[in-house]
């Protein structure tokens, strides 16, 4: 049987077919790998863009400018702090005949006035700029 040429021809055809199959599978895997690499590069570019946007959105100077133009919020004054504040009780059917309780509110402004006088707007701005939590990327981890 090993002496017949038809055996050797069939054996060579089998080897040729198996090499072709391996080559075809390798090409498929290479194209899949190239597609994954393109997807990874696209995702990394998207991440860079999102980090740049995050840095812009969380920029303290920009936030302060938007606050001034849109919201008009100002820093808290010491007179606005209160101590001993407790939330009002939730009205329930059981308390229908009970008179409402007025919470005792004690302002803490006299205790904080000397501290607040030393902290002006400029020093607060310098503290936020020097904060290690904000970092170079505008607060993004």
Element (H, E) at 65: helix 60-66
Local confidence pLDDT in tens for the 141 residues of the chain: 667 888 888 889 999 999 999 999 999 999 999 999 999 999 999 999 999 999 999 999 998 888 888 888 887 777 777 665 556 555 555 555 666 666 666 655 555 555 555 555 555 556 556 554 444 444 444
Q: Which of 15, 38, 19 is nearest to 27 (CA)?
A: 19
Q: Please state the pTM of the whole predicted model.
A: 0.42
Q: The tokens 């393109």 sit on which residue?
A: 38
58 in Cβ contact with 138 (< 8 Å): yes
Q: The tokens 């290690």 sit on which residue?
A: 132
């Amino acid at each position: 049987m090993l002496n017949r040429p038809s055996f050797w021809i069939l054996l060579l055809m089998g080897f040729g077919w198996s090499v072709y199959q391996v080559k075809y599978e390798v090409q498929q895997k290479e194209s899949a790998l190239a597609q994954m690499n393109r997807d990874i590069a696209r995702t990394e570019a998207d991440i860079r863009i999102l980090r740049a946007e995050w840095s812009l959105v969380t920029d303290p100077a920009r936030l302060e400018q938007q606050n001034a133009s849109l919201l008009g919020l100002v820093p808290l004054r010491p007179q606005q702090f209160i101590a001993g504040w407790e939330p009002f009780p939730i009205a329930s059917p059981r308390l229908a005949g009970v008179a409402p309780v007025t919470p005792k509110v004690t302002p803490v402004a006299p205790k904080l006035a000397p501290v607040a006088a030393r902290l002006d707007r400029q020093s607060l701005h310098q503290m936020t700029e020097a904060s290690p939590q904000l970092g170079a990327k505008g607060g993004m981890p």
